[in-house]
Structure 1
Amino acid sequence: MSRRAMVRPGGRSARVQQAVHTAVRELQAEVGRPELTVPMVAARAGVTPSTIYRRWGDLQELLSDVAVEHLRPEAPPEDHGDLLADLRGWAEQFLEEMSSPAGRAYIRDALLGDADGDNAGRCSAYAAEQIAVVLARAEERGEEAPDVETVLDRVVAPMMYRILFRPAGLTDAYADRLAREAVQGFGAPR
């Protein structure tokens, strides 16, 4: 079990986490990621370095935790009125955010400090939750829709592969093509 899994939500623990995460984001903007140290973060957050080491283990695990929280969507996907439009809009936004230099850095940090795979699972769950919202809306409108796993396989997986290993051609047209292919055969227009 990771250190993060043992932490109780709320109270002092939540305040410490928020202060440390805020300190990391501020310091990254001010001095840059390569210059960041645990003592620097601790001083900014108003905690001792031992608090950070006890809770996160090392700087990379802390950066990983901050990255995962940054990758958490802040709002549900926009409702454009039909499955294809909703999925296309979500896919374009996802691709834009994840393929940006900041997005790639957060992906890298999320995975580098994640020996047990928990962060990858959390990031995957965020995408799955967003897709589930899109699919539930489609079903409420009476549209046929694929399941979440199909959309993850047909939209998210190829995007993440391309973002990490073959970043050329990451355009809205690419996201649109993946969204169309994901809904083919489910009653959505081609």
Structure 2
Amino acid sequence: MTAQTGAPLRKVLVIFAHAAPQRSRVNRRLRDAARGVPGVELVDLYETYPDFYIDVAAEQENLADAAALVLVHPVQWYGMPSLLKEWVDAVLVPGWAYGAGATALRGKQFWLVASTGSPLDAYAPGAAHGHPFEAFLPPYRQIAALCGMEWREPHILHGAHQSSQETLDAHVETFAARLGTLAHA
């Protein structure tokens, strides 16, 4: 609760997963931007759990207190980094995140923020990845749906390695603004 208004604080939980953020042009900046947005808590998975041993109780408590879950990561082999997958498997368990009697995540916002190395036109039939990028989103959509969360349109930067500085700056600014809006909705 805030001291002045008595209204509950709204927290957005950002789960950041990048095994080598020092080499990242995009995700490192997104992580740093998230850290500066009031009402946002960021968990850097590779920094917090270098041994891949996730404190499930702490993560569930943290997520239960949040109004929104934001996943920030590069798309690797058409999906999430391995430690983020481990986090999903360990934290979002039946009976807590979904299934009979599970209401911990119901009604919370779910937002995917990701980057790809390939440009958008590489995600098309006949192109390098053979499918539109949207074809790789069903696992994320299903996580949100199964847990009763509200899907927000993803914020994706394609061709991250080739993006101009202006494009990168605009991507990060838009992310921070949308994150701020989510934190104060």
Q: Which is greater in Rg?
A: 1
Which structure has more relative contact order (CA 8 Å, sep 6+)? It is 2
Considering fraction of residues, name the structure with more helix: 1
- With the length of structure 2 as denominator, give the TM-score of the two structures: 0.31
- With the length of structure 1 as denominator, give the TM-score of the two structures: 0.30
Considering fraction of residues, name the structure with more strand: 2
